Amino acid sequence: MNVASVSGGAEPGTAPAWEVAVQAGAGPAVTMLLTVAAIATARRGGSRSAAFALAAVAPVRMLMAPIGLLTWSLAALDLVRAGRPNFDEYNFAIAVGAPTPAILLPSSLFLGWAWLRVWRQLPSPRPVHILWLVTGMVAGLAGWVKLVGPVAVALIR
């Protein structure tokens, strides 16, 4: 088991569509709720550092939406050959029978909105705060993939 992997569970074509839709839709839905809550907390002046960090980092998982939308657009213009993607928003669109852009566009817009809100709420000097947020994100990801994840997998086995 790779701790950085998102594979597993209900997959399109093998599981009932409702099960795929619930599983694939849960990740983006929870991410959006966490992000909105973090932005609201930062705006009210609560634990600003933690709220800013969560608001900036949580939507990172949604980066596949604009990348998928760009790839879909280029494939529609016959500029690239689209493969078979495997990420939540795409799997959700397939499961509910929605056109792929109908799901990817709102996710992409949400990501842009969230990061714009974070940028506007950051105190000056903004580049310094962004540097700290990115540093924390990279350190957290490295800690998960190289330390926390493998220990958790070892304990489960």
pLDDT (tens, 9 = 90+) of the chain, 157 residues, equals 344 445 566 777 788 888 888 888 888 898 899 889 888 887 776 556 777 777 877 888 888 889 888 988 888 888 878 777 888 888 899 899 999 899 999 999 999 999 888 888 777 777 877 787 778 777 777 777 777 777 777 777 6
**What's the CA angle centered on 95, arms 111 and 9, to 5 degrees?**
85
Distance (Å, rounded) from C-alpha 3 to C-alpha 155?
Answer: 13
With beta carbons less than 8 A apart as the criterion, state whether 87 and 12 touch.
Answer: no
Match 């489960």 to its residue by tokens: 156
Helix (H, G, I), strand (E, B) or coil at 97: coil
CA atoms in the 13 A half-sphere facing the CB of 139: 7
Put simply, whether the predicted model's pTM sits higher than 0.75 gets the answer: no
Dmax (CA) of the chain: 51
